[in-house]
């Protein structure tokens, strides 16, 4: 994937990463109306469209942050395809039987491939979240504090433990999570 | 999987291993596939947890929520207005129109559209001296404060040629550029400044919006104004201008 040329629209991904309001605003102005239109055409309303769009932008942000997402297709096509699939999944989950009214939009191989990677990423995030909830309270609190506060000295002080113990415990807690994730059948399916 | 390995993974990721230890670690990654597989998952989870809990992510979600709400609220208002207009009868329309015409004649001059000229009351500037170029700074200040913007722009350029990262001077230079009508360069500078984490970012957004106002690019102006946060010094003026424009 790295050999492919990065599309000029990478600026939207970079803007999201920097939490640049101007870029986010531009995405809403330029690309969101088409998504709303599609969802309204397919048994949805404006509020449902609002949620789908927001969730999709959060997913793109997460993927960019955690995996260094690089855009190899136009943002418009990629964003629309993600929103569309998310909405079709929602319809499926709610057992709504509808005839899909398609809009004509080019979905070339690059867009399909990138959207596929994002779908895998999303499934993994869901699994990670689910497994995180299975950790004990002490591990969860320590992990949260570690990444929120960022200084291990302060984390240790806030939890009333020594610095050395906090560091060791943090490693072991992430280790425990690693084990839980690896033991899940879903992970092995996703990590083909 | 040994606990010791998890501690080693975290030490490697957080960069607390010595140079030799790193080399040993990286060699083991190459030769031991189970070790590598476990490390990859551990690393993936570390990035996931970091992103999930660090404050930057929350800040992004809040900002996204605000922009999303503003966008969708704006849409609803638009629909309501259109619906109301549909029920506006012809009689009312004629009456309202005649009142508007009458009033318009009297108040046209007082309430015309907002213009750049309403906001170009730049404060007197006083440059922070960062280098030895004290006299140059004084000259630039004098030129700017006496509204001699062509000369001020030249002098700001001289300061910047020695001190490229002087954001304060960049801001004043862009104001001078707006004043002398060199909008392309001004907008580029202001965009750059508004992206920084500096104290000048919000001021830069405000002047960037004013530049668009002067160029009569009102939609762009509105978009930029909407990105200025509450804590900005010019927030009240921003809101007033937005009201007039929308």
Residue B108 has pLDDT above 50, yes or no: no
pLDDT for res B169: 87
* Structure-token pair, residue B238: 């921003």
The answer to whether A19 contacts B56, with C-beta atoms less than 8 Å apart, is: yes
Closest CB to A28 among B5, B65, B67: B67
| Segment B32-36 mean pLDDT | 95
Tell if the CB–CB gap between A54 and B55 is shorter than 8 Å.
no
Q: Give the 3-state DSSP-derived string for chain B, with helices as H, strands as E and coil as C.
A: CCHHHHHHHHHHHCCCCCHHHHHHHHHHHHHCHHHHHHHHHHHHHHHHHHHHHCHHHHHHHHHHHHHHHHHHHHHHHHHHHHHHHHCCCHHHHHHHHHHHHHHHHHHCCCCCCCCHHHCCCCCCCCCCCCCCCHHHHHHHHHHHHCCCHHHHHHHHHHHHHHCCCCHHHHHHHHHHHHHCCCHHHHHHHHHHHHCCCCCCHHHHHHHHHHHHHHCCCHHHHHHHHHCCCCCCCCHHHHHHHHHHHC
Residue B238 has pLDDT above 60, yes or no: yes
Report if pTM > 0.80.
no
CB-nearest to B7 from A125, A144, A171 is A171
pLDDT at A8: 92
Interface membership of B156 toward A (CB under 8 Å): no
- Residue B132 pLDDT > 60, yes or no? no
Interchain CB contact of B57 with A (< 8 Å): yes
For residue A166, the chain B residue with the least C-alpha distance is B7
pLDDT at B89: 46
pLDDT for the residue B110: 47
Across B16-40, average pLDDT: 95
pLDDT for A99 equals 66
* Residue recorded with tokens 């009297």: B106
Note whether A178 contacts B61, CB cutoff 8 Å. Answer: no
pLDDT for the residue B87: 46
Q: What does the mean pLDDT of chain B come to?
A: 81
Taking each continuous run of H as one helix and of E as one strand, the counts in chain A are 10, 0
Residues of A in contact with B44 (CB under 8 A): 66, 124
Chain A CB contacts of B4 under 8 Å are: none
Residue-level pLDDT at B232 = 83
Q: Which residues of A touch B54 (CB under 8 A)?
A: 147-148, 150
Pick A128's closest partner by Cβ from B5, B48, B64: B48
Is A178 in contact with B45 (Cβ distance < 8 A)? yes
CB pairs under 8 A between A and B: 111
Q: Which residue has the tokens 């508004």?
A: B194
Closest chain A residue to the Cα of B46, Cα to Cα: A174
Does B234 or B113 have the greater pLDDT score? Answer: B234
CB atoms under 10 Å from CB of A108, counted, come to 10
Q: Lowest-confidence range among A40-44, A188-192, B45-49, B154-158?
A: A188-192
Least confident of A26-30, A48-52, A86-90, B215-219: B215-219
Answer with the residue of higher pLDDT: A97 or B220: B220
Contact A50 B68 (CB under 8 A): yes
- Find the CB nearest A178 among B38, B50, B64: B38
Residue B154 is predicted with a pLDDT of 83
CB contact under 8 A, B195 and A174: no
B1 touches chain A (CB under 8 A): yes
């Amino acid at each position: 994937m790295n050999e492919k040329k990065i599309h000029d629209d990478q600026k939207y991904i970079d803007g999201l990463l920097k939490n640049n309001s101007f870029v986010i605003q531009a995405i809403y102005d330029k690309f969101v109306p088409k998504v709303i239109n599609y969802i309204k055409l397919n048994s949805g309303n404006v509020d449902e469209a609002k949620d789908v769009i927001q969730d999709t932008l959060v997913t793109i942000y997460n993927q960019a942050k955690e995996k260094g997402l690089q855009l190899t297709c136009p943002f418009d096509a990629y964003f629309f395809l993600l929103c569309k699939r998310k909405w079709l999944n929602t319809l499926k989950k709610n057992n709504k039987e509808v005839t899909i009214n398609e809009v004509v939009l080019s979905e070339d191989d690059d867009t399909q491939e990138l959207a596929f990677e994002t779908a895998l990423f999303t499934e993994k995030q869901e699994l990670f979240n689910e497994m995180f909830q299975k950790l004990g309270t002490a591990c969860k609190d320590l992990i949260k504090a570690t990444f929120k506060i960022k200084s291990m000295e302060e984390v240790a002080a806030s939890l009333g433990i020594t610095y050395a113990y906090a560091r060791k415990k943090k490693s072991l807690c992430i280790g425990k999570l690693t084990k839980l994730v690896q033991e899940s059948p879903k992970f092995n399916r996703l990590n083909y | 999987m040994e606990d010791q390995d998890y501690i080693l993974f975290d030490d490697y990721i957080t960069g607390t291993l010595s140079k030799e230890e790193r080399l040993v670690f990286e060699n083991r990654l190459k030769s031991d596939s189970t070790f590598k597989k476990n490390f990859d998952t551990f690393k993936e989870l570390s990035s996931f947890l970091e992103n999930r809990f660090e404050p930057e992510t929350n800040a992004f979600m809040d900002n996204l929520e605000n922009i999303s709400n503003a966008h969708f609220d704006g849409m609803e208002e638009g629909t309501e207005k259109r619906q109301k207009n549909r029920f506006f009868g012809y009689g009312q329309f004629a009456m309202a129109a005649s009142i508007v015409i009458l009033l318009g004649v009297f108040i046209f001059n007082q309430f015309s559209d907002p213009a750049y000229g309403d906001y170009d009351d730049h404060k007197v500037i006083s440059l922070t001296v960062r280098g030895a170029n004290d006299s140059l700074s004084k000259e630039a200040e004098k030129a700017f404060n006496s509204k001699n913007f062509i000369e001020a722009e030249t002098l700001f350029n001289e300061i910047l040629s020695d001190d490229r990262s002087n954001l304060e001077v960049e801001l004043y230079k862009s104001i001078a550029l707006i004043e002398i009508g060199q909008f392309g360069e001004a907008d580029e500078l202001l965009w750059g400044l508004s992206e920084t984490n500096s104290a000048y970012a919000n001021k830069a957004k405000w002047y960037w919006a004013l530049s668009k106002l002067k160029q009569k690019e009102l939609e762009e102006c509105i978009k930029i104004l909407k990105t200025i946060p509450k804590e900005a010094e010019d927030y009240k003026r921003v809101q007033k201008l937005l009201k007039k424009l929308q």
